[in-house]
Structure 1
Amino acid sequence: MAGKTLDLKSFKIPLGKLSPLETFRTRQGDVLSYRIYPAWSDNLIVLYHGVGSDSRYMCVLATAMAQAGLGTVVTPDLRGHGASLNAADPHSQHQFEIDLEELIIHIKMTRAVSRVILAGHSLGGGFVLRVAVSDIRRQFAQFLAISPYLPPGLHVFHDDFGGWISPDGNGGFKVNLPVEFISGQEKLTYSADYLAAVTPSDKIMADIQKLHPPVHVVVGEQDELIIPQRQEQLFTEAGANIRVVQGLNHLTIVSKPDVWLQQISL
């Protein structure tokens, strides 16, 4: 089943809403980057980006969350992306969980935090689901997965992936980013090992059904990569809350959060 082609030309990052870049050094010696959107709340929302890009394009959603008083929002750059581009490849299958825990420790050194909410879009949404059924899940009060990446075996993608990614035949893929959008901070190839360390396993739905984590899923009805009806079926059967938002696609789900954000209880 072919979806529409993902069109980046109409997607703009409002620089006026973009928080400055900050960095911290992990105990393994890697320098990782993030942006922070403060709010008058002791909730902390860690919000991850998706494939190919970095924390910059999450600025509209992060700003909306902070201004709504849902919590102070931190948007990390996954290692290998953005200003974290030069960080080493995952050292283990749990590398991204380790990075997340170290980021939270770093933030707690300067801010009072009572509840931590984990959120993410696309690949970041897949990571949210991975954490939601992991050994560290109890550190988080809620999980919000936006247009989440799911294992290919669950058949949630349109056959052409909206023209956005091309599988390499070895369990990885490359990103088909138009040359005019390439700045040098993008990650354009993903190995099978990288994906195995950041995405949920093939039994993610069974794990959700068994563990009942407080997961909220949001997907756009016009998503070019994901088949929303298939995700709705899977998450409903697993007992997770899912909302299909009319009129939004894979990118406008994060650039137009006012359409759905107030209807999600975090």
Structure 2
Amino acid sequence: MIKKNLDLRSFKIPLGKLAPQESFRTRQGDLLSYRFYPAWCDDLVVLYHGVGSDSRYMCVLASAIASAGIANVVTPDLRCHGVSLALSDKISPSQLEIDLEELLIHIKMQRAVSRVILAGHSMGGGFVLRVAVSEVRSQFAKFVALAPRLPTSLNAFYEDYGGWISPEADGGFRVNMADIFKSGQEKLHYSPEYSAAVSAPDDVLTRLEKLKPNLSVVIGAEDEVDIPSRYAELFSSINVPVQVVEGLNHLTLVSKPDAYLSRF
């Protein structure tokens, strides 16, 4: 298999599309942050980011969804990212689901919301799969997973994760980000507790096949972290629609979304 490396050099965040960071306090007393992209409708997409960075890099996709009138979009900073970067990431298995519900309460107090779609990229996509088979899945009309992180037992990653992630023996992992790309706002280490809380369960495919949530999966044909053909095989085997987008890699999947916006 040809070795691929995730390269950040060509990935830019267009500041003109970036919504301002907002924050709210949960009933547990923690301050969490998000960005909001408005549209002229009552539907809402909750769109989660991946490892290392926060919601900033999702701005092109979020703007495209909102500008197309598909839905309002909120891009949360997962706990221990954004304004909560300094919080301990030794969290309970259900903490991120609790945070998601807290976010929905906060958003619904500010505006009318009719239908909620849960979406995410990479680690955020893995969290989408986790929620899709959890007890809180009924709150969402649809799920969209973009190159979602899958359990290691499914053998869906390139051997070195495109050089992007270094797994640790205890279940945690490190993010290999070159110094030139660091701004001091990155999260570069994830505890085993956090990894467990944000990841899809090992039997996620079995659960998806049984529960049959309204789920779509999208991955770039040139992905450097995940193996597109393996994703197509795994999800097709349980009758989950999967789209492999030619010409896109792990990051351009969210910076050039026109080919799959209809999935939302």
TM-score computed with the length of structure 1 as normaliser: 0.97
Distance 1:2 1:170 in 2: 28
Structure 2 residue 154 is the aligned partner of structure 1 residue 154:
yes
Aligned to 2:228: 228
Single out whichever of 219-228 and 162-171 deviates more from structure 2.
162-171
Deviation (angstroms), 1:168: 1.6
Distance 2:153 2:2 in 1: 17
Aligned to 1:58: 58
Aligned to 1:219: 219
> 1:127 is matched by which residue type in structure 2?
F
Distance 1:238 1:90 in 2: 33
Specify the SS of the correspondent of 2:32. strand
Distance 1:144 1:3 in 2: 28
> Once superposed, which parts of structure 1, at least 4 consecutive aligned residues long, lie more than 3 Å away?
none
Going from structure 1 to structure 2, the CA distance change for 1:246 and 1:167 (only over 3 Å counts) comes to: same
Going from structure 1 to structure 2, the CA distance change for 1:170 and 1:2 (only over 3 Å counts) comes to: farther
> 2:128 is matched by which residue type in structure 1?
V
Aligned residue pairs total: 264
CA contact (8 A) 2:92 2:193 kept: no
Aligned to 1:238: 238
Aligned to 1:104: 104
Structure 2 residue 196 is the aligned partner of structure 1 residue 176:
no
Deviation (angstroms), 1:181: 1.1
Single out whichever of 205-214 and 185-194 deviates more from structure 2.
185-194
Aligned to 1:74: 74
TM-score computed with the length of structure 2 as normaliser: 0.98
Query: Percent identity of the aligned residues?
Result: 63
Instruction: Describe the superposition over 1:203-246 as per-residue Cα deviations: whole angstroms up to 9, x where unpaired.
Output: 00000000000000000000000001111111111121110001
Distance 2:213 2:248 in 1: 26
Deviation (angstroms), 1:21: 0.4
Distance 1:99 1:2 in 2: 39
Distance 2:260 2:85 in 1: 32
Distance 1:73 1:86 in 2: 25
Deviation (angstroms), 1:90: 5.1
Instruction: Describe the superposition over 1:117-138 as per-residue Cα deviations: whole angstroms up to 9, x where unpaired.
Output: 0000000000000000100101
Deviation (angstroms), 1:160: 1.3
Instruction: Describe the superposition over 1:100-122 as per-residue Cα deviations: whole angstroms up to 9, x where unpaired.
Output: 00000000001000000000000
- The gaps in structure 2 that reach 5 residues or longer are none
- The gaps in structure 1 that reach 5 residues or longer are none
Aligned to 2:39: 39
Deviation (angstroms), 1:182: 1.0
> 1:166 is matched by which residue type in structure 2?
S
Distance 1:193 1:154 in 2: 20
Single out whichever of 81-90 and 58-67 deviates more from structure 2.
81-90
CA contact (8 A) 1:44 1:73 kept: yes
Distance 2:111 2:131 in 1: 23
Q: For 1:113-132, what aligned pairs fall within 5 Å after superposition?
A: 113-132=113-132
Instruction: Describe the superposition over 1:118-173 as per-residue Cα deviations: whole angstroms up to 9, x where unpaired.
Output: 00000000000000010010100000000000011110000011111111222121
Aligned to 1:204: 204
Deviation (angstroms), 1:3: 3.4
